[in-house]
Each structure stands twice: as structure tokens, then as C-alpha cells.
Chain A
Amino acid sequence: MTQQGVQALRSEATFDGFYAAQLDWARRLTFVLCGDSRFVDDLVHDAFLRLQPRFAEIDNPRAYLRVTLVNAVRRHHRRESRRQEAQEQAAIPTPDSANEYDELLEGIDRLPYRQRAVLVLRYFEDLSEAEIADVLECRPGTVKSLASRALARLREET
């Protein structure tokens, strides 16, 4: 292992080092899941806050943080869904210039949350079905069917 690699590992052994190393990844994952940049920093901050007291006793803090973020976005999604007004405010701002991915992303945002989470974990995080099942606390077969339904719906829409 290189000197820098060793230093990076050492720095991640502390919570501050882990925070510094994983913040960008956590924000990107949260944004892809949530779709609204206004809530990203709060959701990420709260996830780190939940992790911090348990940091020393967790073997894989990144995996723990991933689960925390997925659950935090799900709670956020539920809360926003309940409040129609807030939901309208939380709609993804339309960019000035249309992009080839906008239609597809809008379709993904309309998917039920678990289907959307499966797509994000599979195609953004590159997790296996078993790993996704661990994050979502379901069986691998459920992951497969959620992904299949999500892809079918997107195919219909596009």
C-alpha cells in the first residue's frame, strides 16, 4: 500500500477524517436519491450525526452511512408526500436548458421510493442485489422484482 493510502486509512480512522473523506460521496448519493439540492446538506448532516456516537463500534461506517441516508431520504420523501404544498415546493427545479436526461430523471423521480432506491443503489452505487437487499432490508428476490418493475415502467414512459 502506498504511503498516501496508509495516510488516508489512518485519517479515516477518526470521525473527522471519515467525515472529510466521505462527505462528497454522501452528498452526491443523497442528491441522486432525493433530487432536490435544498435538502441534501440537512439530510447528510443528520445522517452523520446519527453515525457519530456509534462510529467507534461500527465495522463499516460507510455502509452504515449509506443505509442511514437511504432511510433518511425515504422519511423525507414520505413527509413531503404527506404535505402537498411542501411537495410542490420541493419539486425538482427545471433547468433552464433542457437536457437529454431530464425526461428520464423525471420518470425516475415519479417511481415509488423503493424502486427508485433500487435503481440508484444498482446503477449509481454499483451494488449487487444482495447488498441492495441488505440496505433496503428485503430479500434479493424483492430487489430483482423492484428493479424489473422500475425498468418496465421507465421503458413504457420513454
Chain B
Amino acid sequence: MNTTTDDLEAQIRSAFRYRADQLPTSSGLTGPSLVEVHELTEPRARQRPSPRGRALVAAVLVVAAVVAVGLLVTTGGKQQPRISGPTASTQLSAIPNGVSVQQFGQHLAFVVRNGEHVTVFDTNVHHLAGEQALWWCPREQQFVSPTHAETFSPSGRAIGGPATAGLDRMQAVVRRGKLVVAPTKVTPGQKGNTHTADGTGAAGTGSWDSGPGTFCSGALKAANGRPSSVLDVEALASIRYDKPVYEVPAGLTEIRFSGATGILLTFDDPRYRYCLIATDRGAPRSCRVYLTPGDYLVYDSVPGHREQGYEATIHVTDPLGLSAQLYGSAEERIGHDQAAPGSGHPRNTSASSPQPRVDSFVEGTPVPVQSQVP
């Protein structure tokens, strides 16, 4: 049969449309994916690169070396923002405008973003012993260190409490759309304390973040240091996590994830969405979250997986009952820094609420930012 090119092309188009129309409707996701099935039945053999592949890799390495040398030569005289030490990076587009908690390596930090201007605050407040947690109060637009009732402006200046300097900053730079942070390189906060904080805020009566209307309600919280607990979660091939309910004490928790490949774990609560871990090779398998008493839903955010069963609850306990304590003025709080081992701070009283409150924290909340990326 003789066919012209145009005829053949038209036939091919029609044939493809015909085939696409023959596709049965989706049967839905009913089991482990194809990749998982293959991995379960036969472990993948490590493929050795072919001679051609090796030659290609060598050529790429040579070209990369030449480009790197060229860049060094051409940029040698310019002032480039530099950061030193081990760095961790994340896509800037993944960070919301406003204040959010992000994890850089093993460090939790508060990131204040206003467009391209980003400041990364260390959560360690070193002025007085025992202070490791730092909260962001979305309604009051302040940072607070709960143990000593210190308050800081969104730009990190000390504005209340006994702090003698502002919040420390991690070295950070935005490079090619990525926020690169050196968590171990900290610039000390600006010295001085303006003591301009509203007295009804930090010094207000009642416990902090103990419900709507209380000081710092709906706080975004973070801490650093050694995790007070480690939570191991395993994804089973039978489309569920290994437990329906996990229990951990309040404080800084490290979640470690393992098990069937292709499974994710993240929090339902938007404040902890930065914790997105996976069982795949090369993906982050652990994260740190600062949890206060309450129940937190975790799930696999792959569409369909949650409905099939990849969902669980993390029940955060308050073993010493510290959350029931109520505190009065800021003066009473100062010096009352006997935070429970493993609980990070004693101020939280959210045990009464079954779910962590998220209503007063809106991702993307604009805040004034006075500092820029160094």
C-alpha cells in the first residue's frame, strides 16, 4: 500500500487518539506501586555503567571542572556573598512569606521571608541557662522565649524581658532560587533591649498559648538541641504505618521513617509541613519537630494513600503534668526555668485541646522585615 507522508501522519494521529480512547477508566490505587512490587519480588541489581556511560561521565566531569575554573577566574574580583561551614539548602519557593519553621540539617530555625529578603533566626536563646525553645506569636507579631519571658521583634531585636541582645542569626544567602544556610555559623544578635514590648503581652496573666485569646495563642514553636524523644515509624507494604497511634512525650522529637518504598509522611497541621519525609533512597528520612501535648495527624500525602490507610496519630503526652500549671506575670516566670527534661518548656497548656490549634497561624502572614540576606 502506498501512502503519502501526510496520509500516514494523519493515520498515526487518528490511531493514537483511538488507542487513548480505548483506555479503561482508572481502577484506582489498590496496592503497592509497580516499583514496590518489583523491589519486593526481586531486589534491583546494581547496574554497572557501560563503557560508553563511563566515557560520558568522564567527559561531563572534565567539562564541569573547566566551567568551575572559568567561574573562579571570572568572579574572583567580585564581592560575592559568601557563607562558610557546612550548609543546607532549600528551594526559596517552598518557603512561605512571613514566619515559618524550617529544618536545615539537624537544626530548626525560624525563617522570616519577605519576598527575596530572608532572615534565618537560630532558635537557641543563650542569654540565660535552660532556654532552648523559641515561639513566634502570630497575633502579637513577636518572638518569645517562653522560659524567661523574653520578647523579640520580627527583625530579632530584644524588646522585652531580661534579654540583653537580640536573636542570633544563621548565615544565609539566596543563590539561584535556593536559600542556602550555614546552621553552624551564627551571627550574634544586636546588643541592647528596648523594653518597648506591650506590657499586657509578655507580662500578661494566665498561661501562654492556652487557648484563643491568651497571649501567643496558636504559637509556632521550635527548639534545638538533643531531641527529647525519637519516634520510629515504619511504612508497611500492607498500606498502613506500623501503628495507628504513636505516643511521645512533649518536646523536641526526631521522627525516623523506614519501610516500604515510595511512601511519604507529613503532618496534617500546616505548621509542621516542613517535615516531609520519605522511604525512598535519597529522600530525607527523618525530621525534627517541637511538639506540645495534643494529638497530631500524620499521613502520606501521595494522592489516594491516606484514604487507603497511610494515616496515624501522634499522641503527645505531658508526663509531668506541667502543662496544667498556670503562670502569672512575667516577673514570676523569670527564674522559673526548670523546664522538664524532655519537655523543653513548661508553659504550654494545650493538653486540653484535642488538636493543635492552627487557626491563628496563617502561612504567608506578612511581617515587617528590616534585615536582608547578608
- In the bound assembly, the distance between CA atoms of A133 and B16 in angstroms comes to 20
A11 interfacial contact with B, CB 8 Å: no
* Residues of the B chain whose Cβ atoms lie less than 8 Å from the Cβ of A70: none
Taking a contact as CB atoms under 8 Å apart, the answer to whether B302 and A56 are in contact is no
What 1/0 flags go to A80-100 for Cβ under 8 Å of B?
Answer: 000000000000000100010
Q: Are B91 and A57 in contact (CB under 8 A)?
A: yes
9-residue interface stretch from B2-10, B62-70, B136-144, B360-368: B2-10
Over the window 84-122 of chain A, the binary record of Cβ atoms lying under 8 Å from chain B Cβ atoms (1 yes, 0 no) is 000000000001000101001100100000000001100
Q: How far is the CB of B61 from chain A (nearest CB, A)?
A: 18
Q: Is B80 an interface residue (CB 8 A)?
A: no
Of the listed residues B16, B22, B35, the one surrounded by the most CB atoms of chain A closer than 10 A to its CB is: B16
Contacts of A15 in B (CB 8 A): 301, 303
Q: How close is B289's CB to chain A, nearest CB, in angstroms?
A: 18
- Which of B19, B24, B37, B91 has the most C-beta atoms of chain A within 10 angstroms of its own C-beta? B19
State which size class the interface on B falls in: 35 or more
Q: For the complex, what is the distance from the CA of A39 to the CA of B24, rounded to whole Å? A: 12
Query: Least Cβ distance of A15 to chain B in Å?
Result: 7
Q: How large is the interface on A (under 10, 10 to 19, 20 to 34, 35 or more residues)?
A: 35 or more
Q: Tell which of A28, A46, A104, A151 touches B20, judged by Cβ atoms closer than 8 Å.
A: A28
Q: Which of A28, A79, A101 contacts B11 (CB 8 A)?
A: A101
A102 to chain B, nearest CB (A): 9
**Which residues in A have their C-beta under 8 angstroms from that of B303?**
15-16, 19-20, 48
- The 0/1 profile, CB within 8 Å of A marked 1, for residues 335-348 of chain B is 00000000000000
CA distance A99 to B28 in the complex (A): 28
Assess the B302–A48 pair: CB atoms within 8 A: yes
Cα A155 to Cα B5 with chains together (Å):
8
Residue A134 lies at the interface, judged by CB distance under 8 Å to chain B: no
Question: Would you list the 7 A-B pairs with minimal beta carbon distance, nearest first?
Answer: A42-B34, A57-B91, A101-B15, A28-B20, A124-B16, A56-B94, A31-B23
